[in-house]
Structure 1
Amino acid sequence: MPFSTGNTADLVDAIVIGAGLTGLSCAHTLRQRGLRVLLLEAGKQVGGVVGTMEAGGFLFESGPNTVPASALHLRAAAESLGIANQLVTSKPEAKRRFLFQDGGLHALPSGPGSFLKTPLLSRRAKRRVMGEPFRKYVPPPKGAPEPTFEAFLTERIGSEATRTLAGAFVRGVYAAEIEDLGSTSAFPRLTALCAEHGGLVRGMIARGRAARKARKDGTAVEAPGPRTSPTDLISFTGGFGVLTDAYRRSLKDSVSLSTPIQEIDRGPGGWRAVLESGEALSCRELVLAVPAPAASPLLAMCAPERLDTSALDRIQHAAVTAVHLGLEGAPLPPGFGYLVPPDEAARRDPRTPRVLGTLFVSNIFGGRAPSGTSSITAMFRGGDVADLVGDDLVDRAVVELEKALIGYEAVTPGAPERKTRPRVVASRVQRWTNVIPRYAPGHAAEMTKLVASLERALPGLHLAGSYLGGVSVDDRIRVGKETAERIAERLAHLSELRGGARDKRAPEGAAEPGAVGSDRGAAS
């Protein structure tokens, strides 16, 4: 066996299970802190849902396509990986978003003037929204059940605006319905801002003032990468695969792919991860940076009977199918894409696209499609297209796109007339199951309780899956880094003995004594 489990001097400082974005961020930060880490991944590549595919000159993202320009953790990671110069800003037209309603593809309001004119809301609904700043928000009493996000917003802006605008937004982020999410669990920053300042608009005004003051005082954080406006989006020149590839290069032989874990348990000096082969790898600290369905059975193997881990099993997840199309003869509306609100009557209308939403990929960043072509990503609920495969699924995505294009032409004077059906010249299909955890009411409280129980019962074992800390790209990088910082603090004496952050000066991937053999990837 290439790794000794009997001599604590040979222990890897940390093993991170799961090489998604969280695991990559965690392992990278641990190495930066001068600790020896091994990153184990059951799949054949790093990144989890994050990655970039090429097909016929088109670039398609397997998961997230954009992040807000305010994603400071992503920007900092890009700088530490030496790829900040590859960050790119979205095109101006990407600021425009659409909603499909009543047979038309309508632009979302971008300011007070367009809000007053939008056909997406009735006059009554608009009055309710405009009255929000004048009604002080009163948070639920301490100990009260967490309200759904729908209930929270309905109290602030009324039911019509909540269902139409926020309901569509939630479907785009969580692939879930607004009534299924907890207000604090799913949107902690927004609810905290509302509670602190007595309302949504009040909170946003206060946040804007604070940002302007910080810029004026020179105390604003200077983010690596391009200078952007708050409404811009960012990615990388070659897509988010640039980020995952950079993490992979930085970790080099610290990564072991195609390495599923069969069992975890306590071992000499800390923890053990048992592989399919029966080989046991030992470490001082162990991180489970895997989804809840993968973390739960591993945790059950080592948790004492008194420790209740059933909260992990109660987490529901979305199933999403993404259909990526490279197209000719398909001039897209000038915008980011569109969403479909959660309206049952609208869904029965044959004019309404049967998608969660569609991204106009070639409108968002340059270099995503060859000149003279366009590209989209249509997002379906997994169950809605489970019986479709191959060309049938591609044809379905084209049909739904045509509905959107017809809807745009119906409400937009002077829209370019299409003379032919969009022609598919490249396609990729990505099916994800258990991909986005649903932060239901009470989720945050249950996770806080579980993590606290683990810290007491199983010290040195850390949960870092996407069911903790948020589902965005920036959140996942942050959670990985914060987990690594906690471990580095616990093992600070080792870093000091090795000369502090020695790893920053050493060549990336330099092997340490006690490394796992080359067949598994060396621990550095």
Structure 2
Amino acid sequence: MTNKKSPVAILGAGISGLTTAHVLAQQNVPVTVYEKRDEVGGAIHSTQKDDWLVEEGPNTLMVRTQKVWDFLAELELDERIREANEAAQKRFIIKNGTAVVLPNSLGSFLSTPLFSAGAKLRLLKEPFIKASAKEDESIADFIERRLGKQPLDYGVNPFVSGIFAGDPKQLSIKHTFSKLWEMEQKHGSLVKGMFKKDRSNTSPRKALISFDGGNQVLPKALATELSGAIQTSTTVTSVTSKDGGWQVKAKTGTENITNQHDCVVSTIPAYATTGIFENTIFDEFAKLPYAPLSVLALGYKKEQVSHPLDGFGMLVPEVEAYNLLGCLFSSTLFERRAPEGHHLITCFIGGARNPSLASKPKQKLRSIVTSELDELLGIAGDPLFCHHKFWDKAIPQYEVGYDRFISQMEKIERQQQGLYFDGNYRNGVSVPDCISTGMKTAEKVSSFLRDHNKKT
């Protein structure tokens, strides 16, 4: 028997699905959110062990738009928001085995040992380099062409690993650092683009934040607002077009469920769609690569650590040939992440740079990481605390040619009325990106339902 359920089915209770559901609920549109796990949040997961607070997924949110600030205010999270400490403005890059401060001004750039005098002079050529006629280009090709090899190796490569766990030789500049791509397209030069940048004071407040109690506070707040609309521990087995709408089959425990909806929003990972939607047009989604990643959170007494850890964290360029991609100085960034008198360091291993390393056992990774931290940060002795999380498919890789995935999603949405795609493989991998995309998806769904209701 097929049950007529809410107008909208949302697959997945990560931040994308919850945002879409929240916006629709605010418009009095009933939704049903299907989530296979027993809790909400997707990749956002905070773990508290005694006085250690670990983020297994995203560690911070860089909020840049008023819409996201308003969204957080709607959830009454204002008093739980914690802005990163002032030290977060300082970031370290490893050069010749030493942690060097990344320059953030002209004066510090001129004096930094990260780049040679020749590399600094090379930047003067940038305004005179012609824009590429290519429709897409790798990050590596774009940066080396416009800025040179050293800025790629020590300025961009480590950030690509830190943000996307990706390979700059494979990732698309157009879909990862779109503002740089647009500067070249519009102004012919990054330098010219910077000078023509809007410098008015009308921009919304920008801040790097987390929450008191960890980032999982955010999806839990959304779940509280949605309460009865979320079905956890429920695995969707198939979604098919039927009777002018969408039939969703799912299993919860030993019970099989069949529900009918007017509209479906899929926010599950791209690779998971091929097993649920019974149509070969979804096969392209399985080809979208994801980078594996291990997160290792280590706790030390402050006296064990020679480095002051007075910054956001440390990134390791590929040319330095270490196993670490980088680490965050978590207890420096935010209060109450470690017991009094202790440091919490969150380390990242694997990614597209070294995918096989990500799946190594916890003890093997601990041995590798502690050895490198000893060398790079002057840490003596074993950690007092260790927490490990392995993500087999952590972050979707927006590689050169990603346009074809966008085209395929848009084509399916045109052909399959009432079906929409959302998630971190659509318009950005960060939490604020997913919130913004979720809002837009909700508006598309609302528009569809208005038209649908006029016809019925």
TM-score, scaled relative to structure 2: 0.92
Match among 368, 377, 398 for residue 439 of structure 1: 398
Asked if the contact 1:145/1:442 (under 8 Å) is kept, the reply is no
**Residue in structure 1 matched with residue 443 of structure 2 by the alignment:** 485
Give the Cα separation in 2 of the matches to 1:54 and 1:137.
52
Shift of 1:73: 4.3
**Shift of residue 311, structure 1, vs aligned partner:** 2.6
User: In the alignment, which residue of structure 2 is the partner of 1:52?
Assistant: 46
Q: Which amino acid aligns with 1:146?
A: D
- Secondary structure in 2 matching 1:279: strand
The one-letter amino acid paired with 2:248 is A
Please state if 1:240 is matched with 2:215. Answer: yes
CA distance in 1 between counterparts of 2:372 and 2:38 reads 33
Q: Does 1:42 pair with 2:36?
A: yes
Deviation at 1:440, TM superposition (A): 0.7
1:363, distance to aligned residue in structure 2 (A): 1.0
Corresponding residue number in structure 1 for 2:131: 138
Query: CA distance change for structure 1 residues 171 and 440 in 2, over 3 Å: closer, same or farther?
Result: same
Instruction: Please state whether the residue corresponding to 1:436 is helix, strand or coil.
Output: strand
Q: 1:256-301: per-residue Cα shift (whole Å, max 9, x none)? A: 11111111102334101101343211111001101111112223x0
In the alignment, the residues of structure 2 paired with residue 241 and residue 446 of structure 1 have an alpha-carbon distance, to the nearest angstrom, of 33
Of the three residues 71, 94, 97, the one matched with 1:103 is 97
1:19, 1:40 within 8 Å by CA — same for their partners in 2?
Answer: yes
**Aligned equivalent of 1:339:** 315
Partner of 1:298: 276
Deviation for aligned residue 1:330? 3.4
Residue number among 186, 190, 193 corresponding to 1:196 in the alignment: 186
Q: What residue number does 1:283 align with?
A: 261
Output the aligned Cα RMSD: 2.1
Q: Residue 73 and residue 426 in structure 1: after superposition, are their counterparts in 2 closer, same or farther (change >3 A)?
A: farther
Task: Describe the superposition over 1:20-43 as per-residue Cα deviations: whole angstroms up to 9, x where unpaired.
Answer: 111111111110111010111111
Cα deviation code 1:26-71 (max 9, x no counterpart): 1111101110101111112111111211112011111111122425
Aligned to 2:289: 316
- Give aligned pairs, total: 444
State the partner residue of 1:499: none
Within 2, Cα distance between the matches of 1:376 and 1:73? 32
Determine if the alignment matches structure 1 residue 402 to structure 2 residue 374: yes
Q: Larger relative contact order (C-alpha < 8 A, sep ≥ 6)?
A: 1
Q: CA deviation at 1:401?
A: 1.5
Q: Gaps (5+ residues) in structure 2?
A: none
Aligned equivalents of 2:50, 2:361: Cα separation in 1: 23
Partner of 1:471: 429
Aligned to 1:205: 195
- After superposing on structure 2, the runs of 4+ consecutive aligned residues of structure 1 that deviate more than 4 Å are 493-496
2:73 aligned with 1:79 = yes
- In the alignment, what sits opposite 1:514? none
Contact 1:181 1:440 in 2 (8 A): yes
Q: 2:64·2:204 contact (CA, 8 Å) conserved in 1?
A: no
Correspondence for 1:115: 109
Give distance in 2, aligned partners of 1:402 and 1:95: 24
**Residue 359 (structure 2) pairs with residue 386 (structure 1):** yes
Structure 1 counterpart of 2:58: 64
Q: Deviations over 1:90-139 (max 9, x none)?
A: 1111111111121211111111111111111111111112432x325424
Match of 1:374 among 315, 318, 343: 343
Deviation track 1:202-227 (CA, whole Å, cap 9, x = no partner) reads 223332xx242xx2xxxx2555xxxx
The one-letter code of the counterpart of 1:86 is R
CA contact under 8 A between 2:291 and 2:392: conserved in structure 1? yes
Q: Distance between the aligned counterparts of 1:385 and 1:147, measured in 2?
A: 27
Q: Give the Cα separation in 2 of the matches to 1:35 and 1:296.
A: 28
After superposition, what is the alpha-carbon deviation per residue over 1:157-190, rounded to whole angstroms, capped at 9, x for unaligned? 0122112210111011111111010111222233
Matches of 2:333 and 2:291 in 1, distance apart? 25
Question: Using a 3 Å threshold, how does the CA distance of structure 1 residues 493 and 312 change in structure 2: closer, same or farther?
Answer: closer
Cα shift at 1:493:
6.5
Structure (1 or 2) with the greater strand fraction: 2
**Conserved 8 A contact 2:323-2:368:** no
The equivalent residue for 2:241 is 266
SS in 2 for 1:272: strand
Distance 2:11 2:415 in 1: 20
The answer to whether residue 149 in structure 2 is matched with residue 180 in structure 1 is no
Q: Secondary structure at the match of 1:491?
A: helix
Instruction: Please say if residues 325 and 349 of structure 2, whose CA atoms lie closer than 8 Å, have aligned partners that are also in contact.
Output: yes
**How far apart are the structure 1 equivalents of 2:66 and 2:367?**
39
* Contact 1:55–1:427, Cα closer than 8 Å, also in 2: no
Letter in 2 for 1:138: A
Cα distance, 1:110–1:330 mapped onto 2, change above 3 Å = farther
8 Å contact kept, 1:361–1:377: yes
How many angstroms apart in 2 are the aligned matches of 1:395 and 1:72? Answer: 44
User: In the superposition, relative to structure 1, how do residues 197 and 87 fare at CA in structure 2: closer, same or farther (>3 Å)?
Assistant: farther
In structure 2, how many angstroms separate the alpha carbons of the residues matched to 1:151 and 1:126? 18
Distance (Å, rounded) in 2 between the aligned partners of 1:318 and 1:73: 30
The 2-side partners of 1:392 and 1:309 are apart by 38
Letter in 1 for 2:341: G
Conservation of the 8 A alpha-carbon contact between 1:330 and 1:373: no
Q: After superposition, give the CA deviation of every residue in 1:308-336 in whole Å (9 maximum; x if it has no partner).
A: 43331221110000001222133443111
CA contact (8 A) 1:185 1:442 kept: no
% same residue: 27
CA distance in 2 between counterparts of 1:206 and 1:492 reads 41
Measured in 1, the distance between the counterparts of 2:358 and 2:268 equals: 26
The question of whether the paired residues in 2 share the 8 Å contact of 1:35 and 1:495 is answered with no
CA distance change for structure 1 residues 137 and 25 in 2, over 3 Å: closer, same or farther?
Answer: farther
Q: 1:322 to 1:71 in 2, by over 3 A?
A: farther
Mapped partners of 2:188, 2:79: distance in 1: 40
> Which structure has the bigger radius of gyration?
1
